[in-house]
């Protein structure tokens, strides 16, 4: 399995500079009834940084389990902006960070690189912003893919949890939706520190979503296909790591069938959970609750 993982790492590529360990600088804290939100700036390269948020549960004994929740920007998976306490309409129906903090988890998230790789060029949300950042990343790092950059920045969040004495370093999970699902799946498959993964509607198959965009894998997808490399193969390298898929629009029964063919899981599905709500891209509350229960099963026992 190590040879397969190395093959994937080679395809994902490496940066042209040293990343470092992700030194964190505290900014500000916000107090709420069930949790505290802490804001940080984390170094993620020479003269580069990412904004980070952590939600710390109250009235819990430390160390406690922790979940990385990668997504577009650090406030998104809180479902609101702590600076103003205004809800974020686009994401407030699935505030994964907040939900899990209320269930006793330390949660952590950060801005994705479209916001911070060249912050002087950031003008707002949208695919055009992703393209600008990804082209700059490719210019500076010809051998690095956008997907590998997303994985690397997510691993820095794992580093932060490992260093934080409030978090149980042996009980770290990851959960993400859409973009965050891609980041969760890849990071969990390539980082043994993550013990359980949940990925929501990220497009398990190459044809199911926009893997060929430059901010993900770009033209590497055609090479991966030529080499018969797919996510079924990658998933098989981490058996029996617990994996929960939330399917809704881009993921469907076809995704589940591909997952069931992964080495190890093909004969033993005991650590898999497939939730196919079929209601569209946005995960409904009951699907989220089932996924949270899945995390509980492996991180609270």
- Over the stretch 168-226, which tens digit does the pLDDT of each residue have? 999 999 999 999 999 999 999 999 999 999 999 999 999 999 999 999 999 999 999 99
Structure tokens that stand for 237 in this block: 């390298």
Q: Is residue 274 part of a domain?
A: no
Q: Collect all residues with Cβ–Cβ distance below 8 Å to 215 and sequence separation of at least 6.
A: 113, 114, 130, 131, 133, 134, 146
Instruction: Give 65-107 pLDDT, tens digit per residue.
Output: 999 999 999 999 999 999 999 999 999 999 999 999 999 999 9
182: domain CATH number is: 3.40.50.1820
Give the span between the Cα atoms of 234 and 172, in whole angstroms: 20
pLDDT > 70 fraction of the chain, expressed in percent and rounded:
100
* Residue 279 included in any domain: no
pTM listed for this prediction: 0.97
Cα separation values, 218 from 20, 152, 257, Å: 26, 17, 25
Does the structure show a pLDDT above 70 at 1? no
In a domain, 111, yes or no: yes
CB 30 within 8 A of CB 82: yes
**Per-residue pLDDT averaged across 54-61, rounded?**
96
For the chain, what is the mean pLDDT?
97
How confident is the model over 157-165, as a mean pLDDT?
99
Residue 220 lies in a domain: yes
In this structure, how many other beta carbons lie within 10 angstroms of the beta carbon of residue 29?
Answer: 12
Predicted confidence (pLDDT) per residue in 197-210, tens digit? 999 999 999 999 99
Cα separation of 265 and 272, whole Å?
8
| Cβ burial, residue 267 (10 Å; 0-12/13-18/19+) | exposed
Whole domain around residue 212: which residue ranges?
A: 2-194+207-238
Number of domains comprising the chain: 1
* Helix or strand run (H / E) with residue 243: strand 243-247
């Amino acid at each position: 399995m190590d040879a397969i993982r190395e093959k994937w790492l080679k395809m994902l590529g490496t940066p042209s500079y040293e990343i470092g360990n992700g030194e964190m600088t505290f900014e500000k804290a916000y107090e709420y009834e069930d949790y505290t939100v802490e804001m940080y700036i984390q170094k993620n390269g020479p003269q580069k940084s990412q904004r980070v948020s952590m939600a710390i549960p109250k009235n819990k004994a430390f160390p406690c389990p922790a979940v990385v929740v990668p997504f577009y920007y650090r406030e998104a998976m809180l479902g609101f902006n702590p600076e103003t306490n205004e809800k974020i309409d686009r994401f407030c129906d699935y505030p994964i960070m907040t939900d899990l903090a209320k269930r006793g988890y330390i949660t952590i998230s950060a801005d994705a690189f479209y916001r911070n790789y060249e912050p002087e060029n950031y003008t707002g949300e949208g695919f055009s912003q992703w393209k600008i950042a990804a082209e700059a990343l490719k210019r500076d790092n010809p051998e690095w893919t956008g997907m590998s950059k997303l994985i690397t920045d997510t691993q820095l969040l794992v580093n932060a949890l490992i260093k934080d004495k409030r978090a149980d370093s042996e009980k770290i999970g990851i959960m993400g939706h859409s973009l965050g699902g891609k980041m969760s799946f890849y990071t969990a498959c390539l980082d043994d520190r993550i013990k359980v993964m949940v990925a929501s509607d990220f497009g398990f198959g190459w044809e199911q979503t926009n893997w060929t965009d430059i901010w993900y894998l770009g033209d590497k997808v055609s090479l991966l296909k030529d080499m018969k490399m797919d996510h079924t193969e990658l998933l098989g390298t981490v058996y029996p790591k617990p994996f929960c898929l939330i399917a809704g629009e881009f993921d469907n029964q076809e995704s589940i069938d591909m997952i069931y063919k992964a080495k190890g899981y093909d004969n033993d599905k005991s650590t898999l959970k497939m939730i196919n709500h079929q209601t569209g891209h946005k995960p409904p509350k009951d699907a989220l609750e089932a996924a949270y229960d899945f995390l509980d099963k492996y991180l609270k026992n």
